[in-house]
Every structure is written in structure tokens, then in C-alpha cells.
Amino acid sequence: MKIAWFTFILLSSLSLAGKDIPMQKNDSLDIVPLNKSNEIFYDSLEIKASRHRVTKWLYGTMISSAKDSGNHDLLSYEYYKSFQKKTIGTISIRSLKVFGPNFDDTLKTTNIWIEKTANKLHSKSNLYVIRKNLWIREGQSLDPDLMMDNERLLRSLPYLKDVRIIITPRPSNDDLVDVLILTQDVFSFGVTGGIGNVKNGEVGIYDKNILGVGHEVGITVVGHTDRSPHIGFESYYAVNNIMGNFINFSAGYANTYQHQELFVSLQRDFLRPQSVYAGGLTALRSFRTDRVYLNSNVTTIDSLNYIYLDGWYGRRLKLGINPNDSRFQMTLSGRIRYTHFYDRPLPDSNNNQYFTNSQFYLGSLSFSHRSYVRDYLVYSYGITEDIPKGYLCELVFGFDHNEFNDRWYSHVFLSTGNLFKNKPFYLYTSLGVGSFFKQSHTEQGMADLKVDFISQLFKVWNVKARQFIKLNYTIGFNRFEIENLLLLNNNGIRGFGSRIGKGKQRLSLNVENVFFQKKSILNFQSAIFSFFDIGIVGPAEQSIFKQSYYAGLGVGLRIRNENLVFKTIQLRLAYYPNHPSDVNSIGFILDGVSKTRFYNFQPRGPEPLRFE
């Protein structure tokens, strides 16, 4: 009886927090000093657990505290700068097992049998795969910016959980340093699935790092009882950084009741401010679909059959602007898009056609400045996160040669982020204004304003928390009848599936408070969150505040294991006051969500602003 009661208390108290007491932990590499804490509540619980063999095993197997989640005294720019202009003697790479060790204790092992089994099944990333993603070289003068950029690049790879670069001076030579790159993979194999309703569902498997060589593959089986094909599939294959040229390849084919499509893509980005060129090629053949590739919000009951080809190239310009600022970049880029429809809806009453055959020529001039701030517990659960800092200013011009009338295009896009000195919060703002110009009037014009705020990490009842606030205002003018703004999920109110509330103008505000729990079960970290979303949508000709508003508020739980490639598991309970007829007042959702990406100040290929 005591064992059962103890087990109940143990499992029901995961989100509680107590008083902190300092703790020191041995490190096999002595990388950085530690400043870890533990909780009196769990200390006493551990003592009680040790009195019985079963409860002792249960505590040791299931419950872990923040002391095992990795070191958060992150290596900063100043750390690398202290070795500036030293010569790199050797570069060695050490890959840790997925489960057990961390950067604080690289010799730590796991006692959980399922994690031991996973370590044996997992193929570690091949050292060649890591080396081909290195910009640093032996014999090179150490550049702190390059070290920071390279660590961030490695951390962005889909098969790596985290990366730490350690620099050790040579005792015999003050001018030489040795570089150790510590990496830790994620368990690359995953499953996915979902049930839309009793009539349709899907299940799939994927691997982000086949045999440790950095290739990705995935296949999903999709079924529907009423629509054909009743059983279909979606598949893809991708290669990161082909032959060390930083060109990514991806290809896929799908044939389900929703669509039948084939695509191939090659892409190289401006990965760092010193990148000389970038570009991409994409070919898409859609035999059957209800929406176009670039805007999933615009749907049609008529099946679309079309081909889409896209190619762009960009080059860094050196015109003597800010020559002493290594983080500044000016780029000139060009793009050609070709779209041809074989099956599509008829034009509207004004002979306008959203699904038009066209050849679209675009050019852009961009100015950017970017660096990165390191933090944790933002969108992830304890691993290092790189938050962009800087600005991106973009001027785009284009000419659309299409079957219904040629037209010109232009837009300006301005964005800044985290430019406040000595401020612990993060703030991103962007403004985009653009339009097509057809004869003497504008067409498909829009303006879009975004403000994203992320608070500093603070404590509530000894639990670490952050607040996230997003404000977005979008207005379109002279848009096609088929184009509308909605309040669906990320574009307005989360979990809100209504298509009744729509228009050419939208204002939305999202507020979320996230409370990161200290305890984990089998390395599954959790966060409790509360949210309030409000959105207003309506015609562009009237004041936005005279339109109908919709709202959602509620609470939820997110669960994630950073050692796995699985999406974050999310349980959300929401209440929707003043809801339209196609949405219930209460919504409960259990789903998998992808990790939120940070805004980006990276120059890109020219493309029109998206009205979505």
C-alpha cells in the first residue's frame, strides 16, 4: 500500500518546485564550471524512495532533475575571442551517444534498458559528415565569428541535438590551440500519424540520418474511406550538404486522396555574411490538387493540374559599404518562375484569374546585418538555441508576363530584431508593403506588420517561465475574390478551424505564458502553457475595429524529448467565445507540433510578399 501511495505522489508531483540548494557535479572533461540546483522536495522524495527496492528503482529510472539536462553556462563570443588570431593546430571530433552522456559529463551512462537498446540501434553520424560541414581548418588563424557561425551551422543540422566547440591552448606553444568539437546526435528514426476523423487518417515512418551519413528518407500512408485512392502514400528523400558544397537536395512523390505531385529541389543559402553566392532550383509537377504550391490558404473545388519551375541566383556585392563590419552583407539576386496550368477553374466575373499561366521575373537588392545570441528554454527544452540579432532590408522589383495582361511588381521589406543593448528580452519587428501594377492601377497589393516579443526567463513559484506576445496586422487591396485572410491556427487563433471568418483585412494578437517544468520522465521534458488569442477579420474598405472579432483562450501541456526527432506532443484545451457556426465553443486537441523557428535576417531569393 505504501509503495502504491508513494508511486502516486511521485507521478502527480512532477510540476511542483521547491527551494534551491547549490550542487556541484564532476565533469569528465572539465569543460566549464557548473552552477546546478536541486530541490529539497525531490531530495526528500529520493531519500524516501531509497528505503524500498521497488520505489528506489522507480525514482532512478523515471525521474531526473535539471542537473542532468545539460550545462546552461553557454560558451559566448568572448570565449572564442580570447583565442583570436591563435593558430588552429588540430581539429578533433567526438560524437556522444544519444542517451546517457551530456556536455557536462561525457562519460555518463544510462541505466534505462530502452535507452541502452536505442544507443545500440542508432548509427552515429559519420565523422566525415561532420567534417564536411566545417568552415574552420587546421593551420587557420582562429576567427571567433567563424567559430560561432560554424557551431550554429552544425547545431541546425536535423540529425544533431547540440554541439559544443572546446578550445585548448597548447602548453608547449602559446600560439597554437587545439579544437575539440563535441556533438550529440538525436535518435534519428521516428514515426508520425494522425486521425482527422473517423473517415481519414495517416501513419508514417522517417529517418533523419540514414546509417549516419546525413541523408533523410520518409514515407507516410494516407487513407480515406470515401475518397479515392482510399490508400495512398507520400514519400521524400533529402541530402544535406552534397559533397561539402553546402547544396541541399530533396525530392518527393505523393499520391493520396488530397493530391498527386512530384517535386525535385536543389538549394544553397547565404549561410553566413561572408557567403559569396547562393541559389536554388525547384521543379514541381502537380497532377491533381486543390491548392497551389506557394499559398495553401487559397483552395478550389476544381482539381488543379499544373507545372511549376523556379530558379534563382544571388551574389554578395562588395562596394566598400561598411568594409570593417564583417557581419554586414549586401546581395543582388534574380529569379525566374514559370507556371503553366493544364486544368484550372474559369476566370471570375471580371475576367481575373488567380491560377494564371505566367513567366515571372524578379530581382532584389538586400542589406543585412546578423549575429546570434545564445540562450535556452525559448522554443526548446534545455538545449542551446541561437536567436538572430540584426536587420534585413529588401527591395524587390519584378515583371509578370502572363496570359491576362503583363504587369509590374515591387515591394519593400524591412525587419529588425534584438537591437537593444543590455536588454534580456527579444523583440522582432517587420513591415512589408508591395503590389502589382497593371496599366493605371494596382492589383493584388498588401501591407503586413509583425511584432514578436519574447520575455526574459523569469521565475513563478520557482518554476522558469517566459511570455510570448505576437501582434500581426495585414491588409490587402485590389485582391482577387478567391483570396482571403483567415484566422486559422498560426495565422490568428490556435485550434480555430473556421473558414466563415474571412476577409481582406486581419488583426490578431497572441499572448502565451510558458512554464518549463524542472522534472522529466524518461528524458521527456514538459511545459505547461496558457494562452489568449484574439482576431478581427473583415473587408479592407472598412475600419478593422468595426468588424466581428473572434477569440480563444485556454491551457495546455507540451511534452518533448530533445534526444528524439519526434515532434513535440501537445495537449490543448480551448474555449472560443463568440464562435462562428462551424466551430464548437470548446476545443480539445492532441497533436504533434513542429518546433517553432526563429525569425531570420538571412538574405534570400526574391519573391513577392505572401497574402496568407
Give the residue-averaged pLDDT of 526-532: 96
What whole-number distance in Å separates Cα of residue 258 and Cα of residue 394? 36
pLDDT (tens digit per residue) in 26-59: 344 433 333 333 344 344 445 555 555 545 544 4
Q: What is the model's pLDDT at position 370? A: 94
pLDDT band at 13 (very low <50, low <70, confident <90, very high): very low
* H helix and E strand count, the chain: 7, 30
Question: How far apart, in whole angstroms, are the C-alpha atoms of residue 358 and residue 341?
Answer: 9
**Predicted TM-score of the model (pTM):** 0.84
Query: For residue 84, what is the DSSP state?
Result: T
Please name the fold of domain 77-185: Ubiquitin-like (UB roll) (3.10.20)
Judge contact between 382 and 562, C-beta under 8 A: yes
**Contact in structure between 495 and 556 (CB atoms under 8 Å):** no
pLDDT tens digits, residue range 416-432?
998 777 778 999 999 99
pLDDT tens, residue by residue, 533-577: 999 999 999 999 988 889 999 999 999 999 998 889 999 999 999
> Is the pLDDT reported for residue 118 higher than 70?
yes
The lowest-confidence range among 7-11, 299-303, 398-402 is 7-11
- The CATH code of domain 259-593 reads 2.40.160
Quick one: average pLDDT of 175-184? 95
* pLDDT: which is higher, 195 or 252: 252
**Among residues of the chain, what percentage have pLDDT more than 90?**
60
Instruction: Examine the pLDDT at 358 and tell me if it is beyond 90.
Output: yes
Whole-number average pLDDT of the chain: 86
Q: What are the b/e assignments for 452-470, b being 16+ CB within 10 Å?
A: bebbebeeeeebbbbebeb
Task: Work out the percent of the chain whose per-residue pLDDT is above 70.
Answer: 87
* Residues 271-297 pLDDT 10s: 999 999 999 999 999 999 988 887 777
Q: All 3 cell numbers of residue 485?
A: 485572410
**What mean pLDDT do residues 63-88 have?**
68
Per-domain residue ranges of the chain:
2-68, 77-185, 259-593
- The total of other beta-carbon atoms located within 10 Å of residue 200's CB is 18
Q: What is residue 5's predicted lDDT score, i.e. its pLDDT? A: 37
Q: Average pLDDT of 130-149?
A: 94
